[in-house]
Every structure is written in structure tokens, then in C-alpha cells.
Structure 1
Amino acid sequence: MRPACRGVDLRPVRTRRDWLRFHALPERLYAADPNWIPPLKLQQRQLWAPRNPFFEHASGCAWIALRDGRTVGRISAQVDRLNESEGRADLGWFGQLEAEDDLDVFAALTGAAADWLGRAGRRRMQGPFDLSINQQCGLLVDGFDSPPMMLMGHAPPYYRSRLAELGFETAATLLAYQGSPAFDDPRGMRRVLARLGDRVRLRSIDRGELDRHAETMRGLFNDAWSDNWGFVPMTENEFRHAIHDMKLLIRPGYVQLALLDDRPAAFMVALPDLNELTRDLGGRLFPVGAIKLLWRVWRKSNRRVRVPLMGVAAQHHRSVTGAALSYAMMAATRDHLLADGVAWAEQSWILEQNRGMRSLIESLGMRVAKRYEIVEREIASPTSDLPGNSPNDPLGDPAPDRSGR
């Protein structure tokens, strides 16, 4: 551990105690924030487990910042080799950022991440990503007055200010739309679907069918998002890992597959808001949290849902047919949500420049409730005196226990 910025010491996360400090910091920082919801500790540990399929094509390192022996900040840095196949070989990511309101702490943390990425040959850093753009990402910049839905971030306003002082600029803006699922059918969409007639068929995918249709949905996702800003394809193992994590929450009618002329053309996944179901568990599933969660899922206790996955085949983008496919899936899901007593739904995240999807969502009465930003800055030549691990180490961390169990 070496001195960094005016009394801030940085430590690469290696030991079980380091990981415990890394995961425990947000609980202290957000203790007075009524809108912060503790993430499940098990999920946080599994994020950094070597079996996470993200690390089949990526490397990462994590740090904690200490002052007088007290943890005051944390950050991670990631290099995803799939960015190279998308023409972004100069790009590295940072994430997991949490810190006290102290510019020196932010400077030390982002400096360590930049140095590690620079030694990996990257010249730009973007974030926050936990750990990938296909997972939780974005820094909350508007909408601090309500709790986030599952897999969406929360942060105090000063985070964006401190990063701006350190030269970070906005690279992309992500929107979270919210509203009642009891929307009226836009007349234009009804007419389009009537013209398409039997060419469009919807298939509801139940929990037991997810594995069988996973590869079809992954193909649609990668095709649908291929032209989006920052796109990185999901591998087969990553998509199946994500589907596995969702299975507990899947309900009848919440996963829709749209067929056009009997060919898969779009899909949509809606999930009960896990944050709503676990808010009072303090992030702990054991000894009784898991029982409470299972009971609430079985009782359909939630009143909020989020749509985290949705995609329309690229050939139907910017077309009336593509909009009609999206609308048809939303309308089919709506009926099931209302039957389950759901009162509030979120579509997220949506790129700010995606005018077509935004127009469709707004036509259903949904409005922007939260804004997130991906920020970036150039990376100067790396210095060798900052603490960290070799970017060539698959996890940037030689210790056998990375989870903090």
C-alpha cells in the first residue's frame, strides 16, 4: 500500500478482509439515504467470482481507498477484449465507484484505474460499468428522489460533480422510463397490427422453456443492439448465466417472443422488481432472507416491474413493422402485469438518441423518471508507482479468494 493523493492510501483488493471492506462501503455511505436499496451480498460476491463468464473474455482489478485506516472509497477497472472486435481496442472501463465527497479520494481512485488501464494499452476510460455494459451501468444524474429498480444504479449528486472536476465528460445518456402498465392502445399501432394480420404471432415463454429458447433470444439481442452505442455482444455463457439469475422471478406472460412470418423477430423480458422484494433484507439472504424472498415471489407481493431485456431484429429497425412488434409484446405483457396487481413499470435503459423507441414508449404514457450518464476521459501515459496488479492477470488479482465470502 502506497501513498496516493494527500493522505489517501490505495490498496488493490486481494484478501478476504479487503473484499469485505469493498462490499461494505456502500452501506455506510448510503446509511442516511432512504432511496438506496442494499444489493444482495451474494450477487455482489458472485460478480467477482472467477466463474463469472464475463471473465472468459475480460480482465479486471479492484481497489479500496483508505484514510487513517478507514475505507473512504472503492473502484474497479476492466478490460473487455470483445471491445476490440467492435473497433474499440483503445477503450477500457471503470466501475463499482463509491466514495466519500472528497476530490482527493476520487482523484486517487480514478488515477489508479487509469494507470492500470493504461498499462493494458488503453487510452480512453469509460464508466461506470458493473462490470460490463451488459450489466448494471451508468451514473445517476437525475431522479435521486426515488429508489432504483433492480440492476439500475443509485448515487448521490456529488459523484458527477467530482468526476467533472477530474475531466470526465458525458459519452452517453441513458434513460429510465416509468409509468402505469394500464396504457391505452395507440390507434396507429392497432391499425398496423391489423394490416400485418396472421404474419405476427406472439409466443409466451414460461420459466421451464427459457433454456430451450435462450440461444434464439441471445441471437436477437446481439442483432438488435449491434448498431447501438457501446455495443458488446453477449456470449452464450453470459446470456445463459443471466437467464439463470432471472429464472426465480419469471412469471407466466412476462417473457414474449414475437414471430414474423414464423421467424423470430423480437423478444421482451419483464421482471418483478427484485429491489422492491428485498428492500428490508439488508442485502442478506441468510438465515431467513431467502425464505422471505421466496414467499414474496410466490405471493406476487411486488407492485413494480422492470423490462431489462428487449430487442427487435435489426432489419426491422426504424420501420413501422419494428414498432408494431415492440408494441405487440408490450400489450401482451400488460395484461399479465395488471392481472398480477402491478401498478408501476420501468423500461430501461434507453439511449437518449433512440428517438424511435422513445416515441413508442411515450405514446404509452410513460415518462423519463431517471437519467444516467456514461462518462469518459483520455488516459495519460501510465505511471509505475501506483498500486495495482498486472493487467495480464485474468482478474488482476493473484489471491485465490476474490469473493469476500
Structure 2
Amino acid sequence: MKVVSYNLPEKLDEFIKLPFNIYKNTEYKKYWVPPLISEVKKLFSKKNPFWKHSKIKIFLAEDNGKYIGRIAAIIDNVSNDFHSEKCGFFGYFECINNADVAKQLITEAKKYLKSEGMDIIRGPMNPSTNDECALLIEGFDSSPAIMMLYNPPYYAELIEKAGLKKAKDLYAWLRVAKDDPPPRIVKIVEHIKKKENIKFRHFDIKNFKRDVQYFKDIYNSAWEKNWGFVPMSDEEIDYMADGLKPLIDTRICHFLEVGGVPVGATLALPDYNFVLKKLNGRMGPLEILKFLYWKRKIKFIRLMALGVKKEYRGKGLEAVLYYEILMACRKYGYSGGGELSWTLEDNDLINKGISAMGGVVYKKYRIYEASLN
């Protein structure tokens, strides 16, 4: 067995397609969601503005002509500048259930990051906290929601045996739509609405660029003090927004306005993983027909982001946003409810708010780290 490093785009196809072989003919295949190969290629493309300030080295483990594991080492200069640290990320980790293979993959990633002057290795990041990140450690008996990850239970043991330890846990919450919010919460929400002269509106697809800018301002204000936060440039926000635009249901994306000014927002997506499971990574003519048919049957959403500008905190506006998204699920046919993810394990204010609205933690994810010194 050997682990070999490559510079993209060399071996990109093999790197992307390796998970299909890892999960094939395993008990985890029914929960794993095959990504669209074309979309993964876009992420690694030079057109993705993330790579203007970041670089990546990929590693493949090969044994007797078969690829049995992969990992990437990533350096995000914006993240390091923002946090005043020298941290390299690892990501895209996939591996057979073999501790030696996993350890060698992680060791090679460590060596590369240390050679580039990094002091810490942290991950999984695919490739940052603004994308897919963290390792699933609880909740293996259901598929992940859109833009969340799935992995077999043994991955945690492989990573820990390779010397990495917990840095932070992330929570994914489940809220079923059919259950009424607690009456106490409803009264509080109605009181806040009247007191603060709040107005709600949906994301306006006709003024897409304007609303993307509003969301960016709210996002960078609301999340800037969160652990792991990395500010996104206008170019990165626009690139991500253009990718999400065809998937957005504007009826479940809200702005909360005070005095006509957007000060809070929710970003939710229908759970397209329900559809992706049926496409096996491809999007040819037949898959397009499948996509158009099955997307109408999505009954579950993922609330990806909910935030209020820092100067408007402490007014209960977050509770109002949670209430509105729950009511929108009911009104617009998302009868399965949704996932709220992710939140930091120690973000007590947000976690207590979700719990008060009837949410329960049903999946846990973990980010690992280790010193390189």
C-alpha cells in the first residue's frame, strides 16, 4: 500500500469517484448521498474564488491497483489571517476500515501542512466551514440533509487512532412540522412582532443580487464572533449564491426588516438529497427527468442559516425567525419539517432557542485537530 500526493487537476476523477467504491456494497450505502460529480468538479475548479486565497494538495492511498482512501490538505489564508493562526485543514477524508491506511493518509497531510509552515491541523473541512465540514459521530441511521456530510461510524476511530482530538462538536436539530410551537413561545413571538414593528418578506428572485448583498451583510455581522467563522468575500458569496439560485424556494427564505431595513434573515433549502440519492452522481438526460419528477415530492427542508445583525440582538428576533420558518414549512407543503444545522455545541443562546421551539438534536458532528509541532 502506498499514499501518493498530487496537484489538481491530476487524479481529480479518481479522487472524486473514490467514495462511490467505499460505500458500494456496504450497509451504509442506503444512507450515503452520492454527490453530483459535475458539481464537485466545479468546487475544485479555478473559477471557484475560494482558491484565489487557498491552496490544496490531494493524497490517494493505493493498494494493488485499487484506490482505498483519500484525503486533502488545505491552506486557507483568509481564515489564518482572520484568526491570527497558522492552521491547515484536512478534508475529503474517505477510507476503508483500516487504521494503518487512515494513519498514513493523515500523516502525509500533516507532513505537507507542516512543510508549509502550519502549526495546527484541523478538519474535516470540505474545504472550509462555509462549505461542508465535520465528521458525523451520532445519527448514522438516516441520510444527511442537503450540504451536510455522512460517513460510517468507524471513521471517528480511524481519525482518533491517528492522533487527532476533538476541537468542537456541531449539532443538527430536527423539528417536525406537525407539532405546534409551545403556546408560551407563540405569545412571546406575537409580542415581539408588535413591539419591534417587524416586517417579513421573502427573498426576491427578481432582485437577486440586491438580496444576496443584504444577506452577506447580515451573515458577516451575525456570525463573525462564532468559532470557526471565516468571512466570505463578495465574489465568494456571489459564486455560492449563483450555485444555489436554481435550488432556492423563496417562500422559505426570509428577511426580517425593522424600519424597512433588513436586519435578520433565514436561508433554507428543500432537501435535495432526497433526489440526489436517486441519481448516483450523474446528471444526464434521464437523470434530469428524474430530478424534475422527484423534486416535487420533497417534504423536508434544511435551515442552513438564521441570523440577526449584532446591534439587534437581545430583542428575541431569532425566535421570531424560527417561528416564521416553521409556519412556512406548514403553509408550503414541507410536511416533514426540517433540519436546522449546524450549531456549535456551546452556543447556548441559539441552542436553547431551538430547543424551546421544539427542536431536538438528532445528529452530532465533530471537528478534530492536532498540533503539528
TM-score by length of 2: 0.93
8 Å CA contact 2:185–2:357 kept in 1: the answer is: no
| Structure 1 segment 1-400 matched on structure 2, within 5 A | 7-14=1-8, 18-31=11-24, 32=26, 33=28, 34-196=30-192, 197=194, 199-297=197-295, 300-317=296-313, 319-336=314-331, 339-380=332-373
Moved over 4 A (4+): 13-16
Residue by residue over 1:7-33, the C-alpha shift from the partner in whole angstroms, topping out at 9 and shown as x without a partner, is 3232325565x2221112111111122
Amino acid of the residue matched to residue 214 of structure 1?
A: V
CA distance in 2, matches of 1:253, 1:279: 24
Aligned-pair CA distance for 1:345: 0.6
Task: Flag the 1:352–1:64 CA change in 2: closer, same or farther, 3 A.
Answer: same
1:364 partner letter: M
Identity across aligned pairs (percent)? 27
Which AA in structure 1 matches 2:338? A
Superposition deviation, residue 207 in structure 1 = 2.9
Name the structure, 1 or 2, with higher relative contact order (CA <8 Å, separation 6+): 1
CA distance 1:14–1:352, shift in 2 (3 Å): closer
SS of the residue 1:144 aligns to: coil
- SS for the counterpart of 1:281 is coil
Please state how far the C-alpha of 1:356 moved relative to its aligned partner.
Answer: 1.5
Could you tell me whether the CA contact under 8 Å between 2:326 and 2:337 is conserved in 1? no
Task: Quote how far apart the aligned CAs of 1:145 are.
Answer: 0.9
Cα distance in 2 for partners of 1:293, 1:255 equals: 22
SS in 2 for 1:152: coil
Letter in 2 for 1:280: K
Q: Name structure 1 gaps, 5 residues minimum.
A: 1-6, 381-405
Distance 1:329 1:85 in 2: 37
TM-aligned CA distance change 1:12 to 1:330, over 3 Å: same
Equivalent AA in structure 2 for residue 333 of structure 1:
A
Which residue matches 1:393?
none
Match of 1:391 in 2: none
* Conservation of the 8 A alpha-carbon contact between 1:267 and 1:329: no
**CA distance in 2: counterparts of 1:265 and 1:183, whole angstroms:** 28
Contact 2:204 2:250 (8 Å CA) reproduced? yes
Pick closer, same or farther for the CA change 1:78–1:223 going to 2, 3 Å: same
Q: Tell me, yes or no, if the aligned pair for 2:307 and 2:318 is still in contact at 8 Å.
A: no
Q: Could you tell me how far 1:328 is from its partner in structure 2?
A: 4.5
What residue number does 1:397 align with? none
Amino acid at match of 1:310: L
Which SS does the other structure have where 2:148 is aligned?
coil
Counterpart-to-counterpart distance in 2, 1:335 and 1:15 = 45
Aligned residues: 368
Aligned partner letter, 1:375 = Y
Contact 1:62 1:77 in 2 (8 A): yes
Change (3 A) 1:149 1:277: same
One-letter code aligned to 2:17: A
Question: Contact 2:19/2:94 (CA < 8 Å) preserved in 1?
Answer: yes
Matches of 2:209 and 2:347 in 1, distance apart? 30
Deviation at 1:185, TM superposition (A): 3.4
Given that 2:322 and 2:357 are in contact with CA atoms closer than 8 Å, whether structure 1 keeps it comes out as: no
Cα RMSD for the two superposed structures: 1.8
Q: CA deviation at 1:115?
A: 1.5
- Aligned-partner Cα distance in 1 for 2:292–2:305: 23
What SS does the corresponding residue of 2:55 show, helix, strand or coil? strand
Q: In structure 2, what residue type is equivalent to 1:353? A: D
CA contact (8 A) 1:168 1:376 kept: yes
1-structure distance, mates of 2:274, 2:40: 17
Q: Distance in 1 between matches of 2:322 and 2:64?
A: 56
Q: Distance in 1 between matches of 2:259 and 2:186?
A: 18
5+ residue gaps, structure 2: none
TM-score with structure 1 setting the length: 0.86
Partners of 2:248 and 2:9 lie apart in 1 by: 36
